[in-house]
Structure 1
Amino acid sequence: MARWRGSTLSVTATGARVLDDDDLGAAAALCATVPVESVLAANRIEAVVRSGLRSSGGQLWGFEQGGELLAVCWAGANLVPVVPAGAKGALNAFAVLARAQGRQCSSIVGEADAALGLWARLSDVWSRPREIRANQPSLVIDHAPLVEPDPLVRRSRTSEYELVLPACVAMFAEEVGYSPASGPNGPYETRVRSLIAEDRSFIRLVRGARGPEVAFKAELGAVAVGVAQVQGVWVAPQHRGQGLSETGMAAVVEATRNEVADTVSLYVNDYNTKALAAYRRVGFRQVGTYATVLF
């Protein structure tokens, strides 16, 4: 048992531990009970089922009562709590582990109550975040898109990495506020290569002044528990206002539902009203709320 008293919080926590490979089946089953909420963590869990936790670069925390696993939290580059209803005490327990470890993540992200609740328990000891995005509507579509898919949107090819990477960097910098680029074999560059190799990167190319350029792009950033979460949706500035976000997303939805997962999800900042309107025209509906604490 662990106790602490901060300036605004007094808690007692018990029941959390670092899980091992023998716990992965139970963790995956738990995530399957809340698939849209858990897809980010479930994506990591399904990956480590194949490779093992030792080589994953992160930890998986679990919260148990009476021998039953009630909640999990992926602790890696991002801290991703999955706390289904009824897992009372899980956030206090995960906060004990997070305080002991110290901040090693670049964000806390997930279902809003869980992500913001965990941050509330850490805010007096962790460094001040750059930004808190407390209201990010979580949207899903589990039927055919309501607009005609763009026939020119397709999966990226390995040979097109040099075209895709600048578009990904531009999207990230526009969204987060800084460039993620760190060199040819940096973690962001490796991530982009991996998404292309796994057929999870979509683009629409157009002819520019210097040759082909990316007009629209999106990735399936997480795929698990029957859900594919779209991330990194971006339209090049010179091609905005032409409806590419709607028709491009319709193409991504169609291909994903045909070949990857029946349910397609994403989350978007509440202030991005144009994107919200575009996704709703495609057929997405809100089923919950995410939140992100960015460091």
Structure 2
Amino acid sequence: MAKLLARVAPWFPSGKHTPGGVAFRTLGGKDTCDLWQLVNTDSTANVFMAAHLEAAGTAAPSSSGGEVIGAFHDSRMVSACWTGVNLVPVGMAGSDAAALGTLLGESGRRFSSIFGPAASVMGIWSTLSSFSAEPFDVRSEQPLLEIREPSPVPPTSTLRHTKPSELEKILPACAAMFEEEVGYSPYVGGEEHYRRRVANLIRRRHSLVDFDDAGQVIFKAELGTVSATTAQVQGVWINPAYRGQGLGAGYMSAVVNEALKLAPVVSLYVNSFNTRALALYRTVGFTRTGEFATVLF
């Protein structure tokens, strides 16, 4: 049974200690080095947490209300989980993940998604599901792919960074990609939050696009999460009018070239049932290095 240590998250229920069991507490600044050690055991799979630590400089709770919960065995941190709007586990073993899922469920908290290494995500979900409303989707098999050098495929030379003035032109393509991938509009609950997210990606030069002569998006992709070691590609989309023409490999090769300017590893994860995308990424030179999972609410 899990127990709760000092500096427990205020929304956690109280718990009892069982010898040899796992204990959870909210991490603080003094835990930053230990959290980095966990992240660096697989910096590609843990790019979300790495990017957070690089930006915040600390494991302590963020100003936006997110926090990192550490799992401890005999006072030694063995795994962790970002807990905010989303849940993102790091190195979470099956029994510890299940214990955290129970505590989160008993807390009454609600989340938009759980994503990360499959064993950790599905371990949390194995118990959290008993407390949760029916999820929108559970994607238990999402191959994690990476590439560490330029693709052998010639890159499409017209792919470029999106300009801030082009937000209105690219936003419909971003929304179409989201709806195709997730199954509902990113504007549910209001458009402004999603608009700010796309604008922020453009401002950081993490949005890549190519337009046709009529000003319509042909292809677009984002470097959604970037750390010093890994650039994770997200939001890959080709205009339906241009699909089936063999354009994807050249565009993805160009995406890889841009991403390698930011980090030595380029990664992405894709649904296992998306066989066309998997074939495309193999052609570009991506190799499978792990398994992700996502639970969407």
Instruction: Quote how far apart the aligned CAs of 1:59 are.
Output: 1.5
Aligned to 1:133: 139
Instruction: Quote how far apart the aligned CAs of 1:122 are.
Output: 1.1
CA offset digits 1:170-225 (Å, max 9, x no partner) = 000111111112688722111111111111111111123xxx12111111111125
Alignment partner of 1:150: what SS? Answer: coil
Letter in 2 for 1:283: G
Distance 2:65 2:175 in 1: 23
Pick the structure with more strand per residue. Answer: 1
Tell me whether 23-32 or 245-254 shows the greater mean CA deviation.
23-32
Alignment partner of 1:47: what SS? Answer: helix
Contact 1:109-1:290 at 8 Å conserved across structures: yes
Alignment partner of 1:133: what SS? Answer: strand
In the alignment of these two chains, the number of paired residues is: 281
Contact 1:58-1:76 at 8 Å conserved across structures: yes
| Unaligned ranges ≥5, structure 1 | 4-11
Distance 1:214 1:67 in 2: 53
Contact 2:270-2:278 at 8 Å conserved across structures: yes
Aligned to 1:104: 110
Change in CA separation of 1:130 and 1:283 when aligned onto 2, cut-off 3 Å: same
Instruction: Quote how far apart the aligned CAs of 1:91 are.
Output: 1.1
TM-score calculated relative to the size of structure 1: 0.88
Tell me whether 166-175 or 216-225 shows the greater mean CA deviation.
216-225
Q: 2:266 aligns with which of 245, 249, 264?
A: 264
CA offset digits 1:45-94 (Å, max 9, x no partner) = 3333279634133121111224332111011221111116xx57431442
Change in CA separation of 1:24 and 1:100 when aligned onto 2, cut-off 3 Å: farther
Distance 1:192 1:217 in 2: 12
Distance 2:228 2:40 in 1: 5
Q: 2:81 aligns with which of 51, 73, 78?
A: 73
Aligned to 1:221: 224
Distance 1:234 1:248 in 2: 10
CA offset digits 1:19-39 (Å, max 9, x no partner) = 123323322332111112211
Contact 1:78-1:108 at 8 Å conserved across structures: yes
TM-score calculated relative to the size of structure 2: 0.88
RMSD: 2.2
Q: 1:288 aligns with which of 267, 290, 295?
A: 290
Aligned to 2:32: 24
Q: 1:239 aligns with which of 242, 256, 273?
A: 242
| Unaligned ranges ≥5, structure 2 | 4-17
1:204 paired to 2:198: no
Alignment partner of 1:53: what SS? Answer: coil
Change in CA separation of 1:45 and 1:128 when aligned onto 2, cut-off 3 Å: farther
Identity among equivalent pairs (%):
43
